[in-house]
Structure 1
Amino acid sequence: MSELPDTPNAPAAGTDHAALAVIGSGPAGVSAVRAYLDAGGPGPVVMLTSDSDLPYERPPLSKEVLAGHAPAEGQPIQGKGLPDGVELRRDTTVTDVDLQAHTLQAGGDRLGFDRLIVAAGASPHPLPTAEPDAEIHLLRSLDHAQRLVTSAQHARSAVVIGSGFIGCEAAASLARRGIQTTLVSTEEAPQLKRLGRQAAEKITQWLVGLGVEVRTGVRVSGVQAPRTVHLDDGITLSPDLVLAAVGVTPGGGLLEGTEVMVHEGRVVADEFLLAVPGVWVAGDTARAHHGLAGRPLPVEHWGDALAMGEIAGFNAAQDAQGHDDGARAWETIPGFWSTIGEHTIKHSAWGDGFESVEWVERTGGFTAWYGDAEGRLVGMLTYNADDDYERGQALLEAGATVTEAAAGDRPESDGDGAGEAAE
């Protein structure tokens, strides 16, 4: 593997006190340190990560990398390395945080800090019904992707367990390699609960068109070593490769027992991403109050992590400089893009579910407008309908109705359009 270039001019390793400590080197953590330093935050800045690689883009791992269209190497986040002045400590797991003492424990070292940003991300669930020595891949990190690609290079058949976006993307990518791929899901159709029946049927068509066998409404009752998969409908599969994509555990449990509130593994924060004085949270680890939605929203999307990290880093810098009235609120519309084979869908939503779907066919594409029980727009899904996507984000922000969205209305405040959501 070719490694990303090391951060230039980083402080010497061994700093025992940081003006800012950041836990996590994913999009939220990287965005946070960039924003913090850009806003004039003082150093030293120390980033701690259990990852062994320099910060890298994760979205390509389940798509271009797994499909064999890109090397299994890390690409810098947004094409840039870490800023000068950031000390990155890799292979470093934070095991304890003392917020009263302003210290954290990582390995055998204790680090003091003035301010802390928690961007610990999430870890993939192991498959609970598998034997301990069964050969089951996960896909979250670059290391996971490299191991998976190595197995895929020698595999003729694969089973992907789970029909979330990672599962659907990975199944499509493996099939594009020429691997006989089976997708197994407890759902009646992929993404049925999240996106509705019509979108689930489209995704199923795309997967089947790539040669994926889609087995829905079944549960994996067990996996015997090395790779024998038993389904609860009596079917047994013996593939060369098994990938489990059955959800993640947020990393906020690290702060259980401290002064912050932790809800289902996520750190609770206000609209400024502040958990308690001096501690901010961003990305998958956060359960923050959204300034526009008016309620806490957990999100697990790459673009949202970048946006939240930027806000947390900026606010930490303002706090360090005594600018009490300069904090920014989290108000960006949550959303993500997902590419399944050659089909890219774009989704924005508040994430609380929906009661109705208004489906609109477009030339070579479609748009799904999601509404709540009162008919208010709560989300949208587009395929080859970028105008709808940009308009829809502004409509979500404006509190429009599904009827207005489906009719092609634009909010009165609509100007240059909503910002682009990243994968």
Structure 2
Amino acid sequence: MEQKYDFTVPVLGDARIDSPVAFSRVLGDQIANYVRDDEYILHDIEVDPKMPAKKYHPADLLQVAGPREKIYFNPGHVHAGIVSCGGLCPGINDVIRAVVRCLWLRYGVRRISGIRFGYQGFLPENSVPVMELNPDVVDDIHKIGGSVLGTSRGGGDRIEDIVDAIERMNLNMLFTIGGDGTQKGALRIADEIERRKLKISVVGIPKTIDNDLSFVQKSFGFETAVAQAAHAVSGAHTEAHSAINGIGLVKLMGRDAGFISAHTALASHEANFVLIPEVPFELDGPDGLLFHLEQRLARSNHAVIIVSEGAGQELFKDVLGTDASGNRRYGDIGFLLRDRIIDHFKARKIPVNLKYIDPSYIIRSAVAVPTDSVYCSRLGTNAVHAAMAGKTRILISLVNNTFVHVPIDICVARRNSVDPESSLWRDVIEATAQPTVMRAAAG
């Protein structure tokens, strides 16, 4: 049975102010157009021709993002804040640049503050000054990695302190750049803002290198991560191919979702095994990874393994607690696999030459590739259009190749993951020629 979602976009009030952005309301005049609030798309495009046609209510549909003819905020009165939280990801600076330039150049907003070091930058005990932002400050930041505002984990549970700081700064809108934890914090901030009856827009821009936010077709930075990861896999393959019984082991990001590993395998076509959190595997026994790896070496003299950081956690017995963002700490599957592989072949008196590569922090700090940079720019400008129109409690997302407004609570209700029965995972199996299952049959 299809799950029902309420995609209604919350607003602060009626938008009555003429937008300073000069677009057209007339179709066919070859001038870029405003977007109406009654423009929608479907989120579920699968159809069954045997079923009767569906009837839709606006709450069942995703509202298209873009500039509105009427806006809620008077641009001359706006003070906007931007914060980036969580781990680094390619493209953060591109998003910051796009938000600042759209606010300043398109709407004439002259007060834009960058909150430094994530939600920690709001907390009074940290005494972190804000960064005043304008087009000159952000002009070249897309050419460097990281975040010019800095970032941090944690602090998002200090909701009253954060909203106190927002009130003291007299912010009218807050742009939150971050993933699941960041946007859950943004939702709680929006709840407290509403409880205090304040007119402050909260608009999220999804940043999760793992690509695991719901109703987000693609997170920014993902394409850059895959491109960088493919280079690492290529290096691992070269090392493995150049040695007797060479093994290249590459650990990639992906705590709960194996999208980066899956796409990297398809991009490189040099991996023989891909291990992701969604597909359990065993090490030992006739169906285990070690047996199949030994067979691979006997056939081809080399092998390349890609493993997501969250894969194989069932192999760890210790409970490692949580990090500052409340995420469960995971055992290091890369080190475990490295040691178990070496021990296995040593016990069988088979010489191997294993190279272990963990390029995670190099990937996270990379400059966005052009396709990601374009995507970041469009996310940032659409976030500004939404906030100026008084939209709040939403993420800017790409769904079915259309930029839309999605309520934050829906995006953070669950996380995306690789479906082991999907065409994506089927294509990975075919590209690697690895066994469909690497565990003993249940029962």
TM-score if structure 2 supplies the norm length? Answer: 0.30
Looking at secondary structure, tell me which structure has more helix per residue.
Answer: 2
TM-score with structure 1 length normalisation?
0.31
Larger strand percent = 1
Q: Rg: which structure is higher? A: 2
RCO higher in structure (CA 8 A, sep ≥6): 2
